[in-house]
Structure formats: structure tokens, C-alpha cells
Amino acid sequence: MPVHLLDSYNRSIQYLRVSITDLCNLRCIYCRPPEGLQLISHDEILRYEEILTIIEIFRDLGVRKIRITGGEPLVRRGVLEFLSQLVAMDGIEDVGLTTNGVLLAPMARDLKAAGLNRVNVSLDSMRRETFKDVTGSDKLDQVLEGIKAALAVGFNPVKVNVVLLEGVNEQDVAEFARLTINQPLYVRFIERMPFGSDPAPRSPESFSAHRVLEIIKNEVGQLKSVDREPLDGPATMFSLEGATGRIGIIDPVTGHFCGTCNRMRLTARGTLRPCLLGPQEIDVKSVLRRGASRKELEQLVISAVLSKPIGHSARPDRLSEGMNVIGG
């Protein structure tokens, strides 16, 4: 009989996002708390076998979909072997990866061979200078090569995530939308979420996902709504007339989709995070490392799921830490 992991508000938890490292090869201006990055010592990061144990507990409780993220997951040594083990795990039906794409071109074939089902690439501008300003690196070409390679080895669709940054990438919107015309790319525009108690000094505010739709309608063409697929998550999906790909908007700031939230997060340092925007974390690493039984770990996961809040608040809360730690 299928098992369902339900939270206190009857939401079925079907999805676990796992950050496997807090390290990243880019320094995006919006992806860290105002006080800067505090890297975690190697020993505090969950080992791959610990991550697999925690995933098994979720699997036994009914979770079938896993997304690997970071930091930048492709910088962690041994990631391919880890992914192969994860994909081979009985009962796991879908494994996706979110990457900044810098190392994707040389790894795309091996990722496909490891059995990865889906890949999402984060890219906020296709203009070299803006890319450099946002990420602190001149690596746009690697990312574009990475997207090409992912398509070439047969990932279909490849999703491209664009964070909306006021005064920075409004003029990229139309070009990103055009990418969907002839390629199986799903471009998803995501409102930037604020951090900490003060705005990060160098981080621009978001512009609204609805403005994206206006820009596309004015500069590219009419959009029609398309039904959300099970793996579209919180995105509202559209397509341009006759296009191969799709366009999505994700509006954590102006929209409210907590009611359908079906996910939990495991951070690189071994805590469970029931809500991205809430401060609460449950330490699973120390429990695991003191030799807890499966039963105990299962109870811990269940209580973490039951503590999932109904929503982050009517007004969007602020992220208490950088996404490099939480895992975006």
C-alpha cells in the first residue's frame, strides 16, 4: 500500500530537496546574507552515506522525488557516484539537479549516464557584463555551453531559472522568452526573495513576475496558459504560440503558494528545514551520528514534517540565511 507523508495541514509531502554542499564557484549578489558567507568545516557537512540514509527514511515514508542542490552541487567531489547510488535506490522515481551550469558541459554526458532525470540551470542574464556583475565571474560562456550540452545529451526539458532583479535583468526577459521558441527549454522567472533583517547592501530588489508577462506580451508575443505538469512545482506555466518550450513564473514574494507546498529540505550541514522562509531547523545530523535507530530517525522526520508551518506569513518573511546554506 502506498505510504503518504502528511503534515498537520493535510499537505502530502512528496518532494525532498537536498543541499550536498555550501560551497559554490559563483558569488551571486542575492544569494548570501548581508554578513557574508560563513563556510562550514568539512566535518560538519553530511557525508554522502549519511545523506543516502536520510533519503531512505523519507523514501520509506513515501517520498519519491529528490532534487540535489547546493551551494553548487557539481563542485562536490564524488557527486556522480553519489547520484548513481541515489538513482539506483529502490523506490526513488525521480532525481533532479539544480546547477549554475558552470561545470555542466564537461559533466552532462556522465550525469545522463548516472541516470539523472532532470536538470535545472540557473542563469540570470545572457549579457556578459551583467552576468559578471551578478555572479562575480566571467563564466557566461561555460553556462551557455552547459545548457547546450544538457540538451544535446537528451535532457528534455532543460529548465532555466532566472531570478528577477530590479534594474539588472528586465532587458533579458524577452531574450530568455525567445529561447523557448525552438528548443525544449522551460524558462522560469523567479522573484528574488529578501534575506536577513536588513536588505543586503549590494543586492537589488525583485521586480514582479507579473511584469515579466507584460514584457513578453509587449516584446515577444501572446502567451497562452498551459496546464501545470506534476513536476512544475509552484510555477504557473505559459507558452508562446507554436513554441517548443515553455515559460513559467514563480512568485514567492507577491503570490501565495504555501497551501500547496509539498516539500522538505535537507541542508548541507544536516538539518531539516520545513519551510524555506521560516527560521525553523531540526538537527538530524547529531541524531544520526550518535547512532540512532531507523525508528528514531523516522520519528524525527515525521515530527519535522508535522512542524511545517501553514505558511511563511501574509507578508513575505525574509530568509534567515543564504540559499547556499539552505539549498535553493
Q: Is 325 buried (19+), middle (13-18) or exposed (0-12) by CB count in 10 A?
A: buried
Q: Are 193 and 253 in contact (CB under 8 A)?
A: yes
163 contacts ligand SAM (rule: CB under 6 A): yes
Restricting to residues 56-115, name those near ligand SAM by CB under 6 A.
69-70, 72, 98-100
Rg (CA), the chain: 19
31 is in an annotated binding site: yes
Site string for ligand SAM, 20-59 (x = CB under 6 A): ----x-----xx----------------------------
Residue 30 beta carbon to ligand SAM: minimum distance, rounded to whole angstroms: 4
Restricting to residues 215-244, name those near ligand SAM by CB under 6 A.
none
> First-to-last CA distance in the chain?
32
125 contacts ligand SAM (rule: CB under 6 A): no
327 is in an annotated binding site: no
28 is in an annotated binding site: yes
**Which C-beta is closer to ligand SAM: that of 10 or that of 197?**
197
**Which C-beta is closer to ligand SAM: that of 297 or that of 316?**
316
- Rounded CA separation 137/201 (Å): 19
CA trace torsion 218, 221, 227, 228 (10° rounding) = -60
Look-up of cell digits 531507523: 294
Residue 271 beta carbon to ligand SAM: minimum distance, rounded to whole angstroms: 16
Residue 172 beta carbon to ligand SAM: minimum distance, rounded to whole angstroms: 14
109 is in an annotated binding site: no
Look-up of cell digits 553548487: 72
DSSP 199-239: --TTPPPP--HHHHHHHHHHHT--EEE-PPPGGGTT-EEEE
76 is in an annotated binding site: no
271 is in an annotated binding site: no
* Alpha helical stretches, state H, the chain: 48-60, 79-88, 104-113, 128-135, 140-152, 173-182, 209-219, 285-289, 294-306, 323-326
Site string for ligand SAM, 176-205 (x = CB under 6 A): --------------x-xx------------
Where along the sequence are the contacts to ligand SAM (CB under 6 A)?
24, 30-31, 69-70, 72, 98-100, 122, 161, 163, 190, 192-193, 323-324, 328
